[in-house]
Structure 1
């Protein structure tokens, strides 16, 4: 799934909410100034690593600023599951820290189509949308029993926006924290049952459970995220997935890796499905783990543009761009309990050098397997990509100094691809305290997982 825009129905739904609350000129006057102030304040709190307090205005400002990027990001992550047929169309979902609805609405449009934003690969009618409407929603595409856990005022925004979803997307909002959420109270459920969202008689911890548990930009806000994840796995279906997303900045992205490692490497239930595959059996990484995906910028949603247009230079010493957020950059982790991995490849001592032992190979040309864990990180000069094999304790970067037909896959392969390197030169970079894997005209790089 790829999207360059927020679906028109979602844009209209948020515009309608703004008009209902503040009037047709919501972006001007006191209401517009209050919303812009709220955005500036929660951005400042985030940078200072302070908790955000949600009142009604902050919740709406959060939706205006953050919802589009969250909406887009979740689809890219879910596509890693649909490519393997691991996201059922009849599905039970728990959305932890659902906020104003970015992940929920991204999930909805991914499954149901919403203005052309779906994954597009699962229609069984040759692309005909007889049950669809002008919004592009295909009512037959899926059946979703959706449960949101959200204690803040953002739940009111979610409640309003989720009214616009397909009739087979059946939502229930639980206005509580995940620590206080009672899993058993929602029952095992049946996505094909129109009363599933209100079911409460079954034991979720038995053979059923949630097919998908989403943690959208919330784990970094929890006091005990590992404990919360461990509990979630108790209520995950045997073939279900836990999907966690976080912003791409260093603190939250590396924090996600720490949580992932605590649950997957130190526990016995979870396997990393994507993107940070463990290519060596029984090996675990301990490097910084600052890894995130970057996708195409969104087209600026109309509501962000209107809020920016209403900016008055007397409000604050910032540019109108401060209210536009179209970057789609995110860290993510997909965990499963059945041992499935996005790509099945494993390294072999007979053929591959191990990153945990890279110090033994400095100045040598070697072969190895690695996962591409970044976009091009260079500001200028030679292209630079983070690489990991799941054993590394120190950062490793593939440095492309001479592109050729033999190594073109290094640049062309997508984030998360497994790459086979042949005849790559291993060097130590003392300035960065990292290993450089120098890719030149003598180096072969093949993407084992496709480009």
Structure 2
């Protein structure tokens, strides 16, 4: 570290406890009297390490310790500033009429190809064209989805205003941009993206549109090859950074839409769980389709069985063989949205569970690509419009916390693991609502189309078979089930347990005799 940089750091450390740090003031105390613009740039580079945020007037102050508040209301649209930057990129690569002619045909065929590869389970190979097509088609939905998943953490005060984040397989940046916009202007974000492909070029351009207190670094390598110690401080030196140490771990590790691309997702994810700060969260996300959603739950359940070294509980004792370190093992806990309401029980059903949120407004880039498709009989209107917000997610922690922390007893409530003995009986049950209504869906949950009764996947965390609540008669006393959000826990009094041979699942009938209360 240069003497000048060290002098700027020293002055900033002193002034942060006295008054706002003004680059024009600091330059007077530094040998050589560097220009205030030089001081300001160095403070920006050091801001994450010094935990400083830059204000509108150009001064720097300590980041607030208050947690981030949850957002209210739906995500309605993909922000115009990101869309403009994306269109600038498309114009640079393909020309001002990128959506027309040969370039438009290339982008449309690229989108068709990676959609087909994905549905067939083939890996998607990223080049510049795939990255551009992926940004047009997928970026808005992923931007929205991450914000709904972050609500679970913010609602419990678990999302700090000062965050060190690691984003594995960051892609073109949907989750990154959604995270940046979720945080308030006075939040400090040290963001590390791991992305080896051409998607990193799109990500870099889009991150340039984020706020002054977002400090991004892109590591162009794979999740398997990345060394977390490369997430260094702003001046390029490690300064003793150790992501496996309590004070230096990541507050949030993201693995969004990447698990299906890894050869051994459990092994990779386990290694990154070890880089979490003691109160950090590992957030994995996947599309809502059956294969990726079920895989996400399988990974979640395998990781839950693991035990990691607890970095906060180290003691030493001398044995006959010499000094030995003894560690109490830390447990990987599923924070949400799935639940574990019975002590010692974990689910083993197929685990297809996903959330559905309101559609976004159609982004202009999607509309232009779609409307300029040739009328050749191959194109169906809306083929290149993707405004659905449907996603699966899993939040894991090492501090034992759960979003819904309950311990049920069999003398009060029926257990899903024992549902076979309750068939044809009315029972009392506690379960989380883990879907929006699946009735009338085309493939949602595999339940078939044409159903008129509201139907929801529910879980208490003990089941080995899918359970669904079917509302045959809506009343004021059972309406809380319809009003509950994804992941909310409800009590059911007088619900009728039936077995459905066609679906090989339990149907729990909610009718005029059933009372439902939200107990979240």
State the TM-score, normalized to the length of structure 2. 0.78
What is the CA–CA distance in structure 2 between the aligned matches of 1:94 and 1:320, rounded to whole Å?
A: 38
Matched, 1:5 2:107: no
What is the CA–CA distance in structure 2 between the aligned matches of 1:381 and 1:7, rounded to whole Å?
A: 36
Do the aligned residues in 2 keep the contact of 1:147 with 1:197 (CA within 8 Å)?
Answer: no
Q: Which residue of 1 aligns with 2:172?
A: 100
Matched, 1:224 2:264: yes
Equivalent runs, 1:107-186 vs 2, <5 Å: 107-112=179-184, 138=185, 141-186=186-231
Matched, 1:67 2:112: no
1:204 to 228, 243, 246: 243
Moved more, 341-350 or 369-378: 341-350
Do the aligned residues in 2 keep the contact of 1:95 with 1:147 (CA within 8 Å)?
Answer: yes
Do the aligned residues in 2 keep the contact of 1:280 with 1:346 (CA within 8 Å)?
Answer: yes
What is the CA–CA distance in structure 2 between the aligned matches of 1:21 and 1:441, rounded to whole Å?
A: 61
Name the CA shift for 1:201/1:185 in 2 (closer, same or farther; >3 Å). farther
Do the aligned residues in 2 keep the contact of 1:186 with 1:198 (CA within 8 Å)?
Answer: no
Q: Deviations over 1:362-393 (max 9, x none)?
A: 11111111010111111132111101100000
Matched, 1:427 2:491: no
Q: Which residue of 1 aligns with 2:508?
A: 437
Structure 1 residue matching 2:208: 3-state secondary structure: helix
Q: Which residue of 1 aligns with 2:419?
A: 358
How far apart are 1:346 and its partner, in Å? 2.7
Q: Which residue of 1 aligns with 2:368?
A: 306
What is the CA–CA distance in structure 1 between the aligned matches of 2:117 and 2:241, rounded to whole Å?
A: 41
1:335 to 377, 384, 396: 396
How far apart are 1:24 and its partner, in Å? 1.6
Q: Which has the larger radius of gyration?
A: 2
What is the CA–CA distance in structure 1 between the aligned matches of 2:399 and 2:144, rounded to whole Å?
A: 27
Equivalent runs, 1:236-315 vs 2, <5 Å: 236-267=276-307, 269-314=331-376
How far apart are 1:256 and its partner, in Å? 0.3
Q: Alignment length, in residue pairs?
A: 415
Unpaired runs of 5+ in structure 2? 1-70, 308-329, 441-450
Which structure has the higher relative contact order (CA within 8 Å, separation 6+)? 1
Do the aligned residues in 2 keep the contact of 1:185 with 1:200 (CA within 8 Å)?
Answer: no
Structure 2 residue matching 1:321: 3-state secondary structure: coil
Q: Which residue of 2 aligns with 1:397?
A: 468
State the TM-score, normalized to the length of structure 1. 0.90
What is the CA–CA distance in structure 1 between the aligned matches of 2:504 and 2:236, rounded to whole Å?
A: 52
1:25 to 89, 94, 97: 97
What is the CA–CA distance in structure 1 between the aligned matches of 2:492 and 2:99, rounded to whole Å?
A: 53
Cα RMSD of the aligned pairs, angstroms, is 1.3
Q: Which residue of 2 aligns with 1:123?
A: none
How far apart are 1:414 and its partner, in Å? 0.7
Do the aligned residues in 1 keep the contact of 2:306 with 2:332 (CA within 8 Å)?
Answer: no
Do the aligned residues in 2 keep the contact of 1:171 with 1:197 (CA within 8 Å)?
Answer: no
How far apart are 1:97 and its partner, in Å? 0.4
What is the CA–CA distance in structure 2 between the aligned matches of 1:291 and 1:347, rounded to whole Å?
A: 22
